[in-house]
């Protein structure tokens, strides 16, 4: 997809500024091969916030290795940025290989590294953290409490579930996930919702030409749901 040179330059400046902040003020210029890496992200349509999330992921892993010994170059973050971008495309319903191939808005990456009990434990922990923020009011907090209690009860028996019983739990997780996101979206005021819708449209702008109108509407709704999740740090309950 085409990207205007001015837009690419601004995109690279934003990345450079963010990388400097992550490097505790140590300036690492996005020039030469590094500029090519970041320009390629822009050309692929990687939204800025997705690129920043990929950079964050790299730094989180770097911090876990112990005290940092040298500033991080943007090139080191390439694999993480593209991985987060792939997750974002799947989350908004776009297959990795084609912007015009649309799946369900509930599409997600297959979870092969985490067991169902561990997934539920993590979700309950994150829901509790979202509850503490109280950013969407008492009604939504009550919904979080109910969902967390249901998941906590399911966690104790999920490891032994097989066949239809396990599938029934997975279907229930899908339904709970949809209920939470729908309620969170409904709790937004009109100004916030409109601003987030514009952001969702901006994130998808580079892909719109390859989509049918119906596909774009579905992707836009999924992108909005993802923004709502990010705003209140709402975890994905669905497990596949």
Please state the pTM of the whole predicted model. 0.55
- Enter the tokens of residue 79: 């694999």
Bridge partners (DSSP) of residue 94 are 102
pLDDT tens, position by position, 76-124: 889 888 888 887 887 776 654 443 333 333 334 444 456 888 888 888 8
Residue closest to 238 by CA, chosen among 85, 113, 123, 95? 123
pLDDT tens, position by position, 111-146: 445 688 888 888 888 888 777 766 667 777 888 888
Asked if residues 48 and 11 have their Cβ atoms less than 8 Å apart, the reply is: yes
Least confident of 57-61, 71-75, 135-139: 135-139
Rounded distance between C-alpha atoms, residue 216 and residue 10, angstroms = 26
pLDDT above 70 (res 189):
yes
- Enter the tokens of residue 218: 């579905």
Asked if residues 136 and 187 have their Cβ atoms less than 8 Å apart, the reply is: yes
């Amino acid at each position: 997809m085409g990207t205007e040179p001015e837009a690419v330059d601004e995109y690279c400046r934003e990345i450079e500024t963010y990388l400097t902040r992550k490097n505790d003020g140590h300036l690492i210029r996005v020039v030469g091969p590094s500029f090519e890496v970041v320009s390629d992200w822009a050309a692929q349509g990687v939204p800025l916030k997705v690129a920043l999330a990929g950079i964050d992921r790299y730094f989180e892993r770097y911090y876990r290795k112990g005290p940092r010994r040298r500033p991080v170059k943007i090139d080191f973050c390439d694999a993480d940025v593209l991985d987060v971008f792939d997750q974002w495309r799947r989350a908004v319903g776009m297959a990795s290989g084609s912007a015009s191939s649309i799946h369900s808005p509930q599409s997600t990456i297959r979870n092969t590294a985490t067991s169902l009990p561990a997934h539920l434990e993590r979700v309950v922990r994150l829901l509790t953290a979202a509850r503490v923020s109280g950013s969407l009011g008492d009604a939504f907090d009550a919904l979080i409490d109910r969902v967390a209690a249901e998941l906590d009860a399911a966690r104790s028996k999920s490891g032994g579930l097989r066949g239809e019983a396990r599938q029934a739990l997975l279907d229930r997780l899908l339904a709970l996930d949809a209920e939470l996101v729908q309620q969170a979206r409904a709790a937004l005021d009109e100004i916030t919702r409109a601003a987030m819708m514009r952001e969702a449209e901006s994130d998808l702008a580079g892909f719109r030409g390859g989509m049918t109108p119906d596909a774009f509407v579905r992707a836009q709704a999924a992108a909005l749901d993802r923004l709502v999740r990010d705003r209140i740090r709402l975890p994905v309950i669905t497990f596949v």
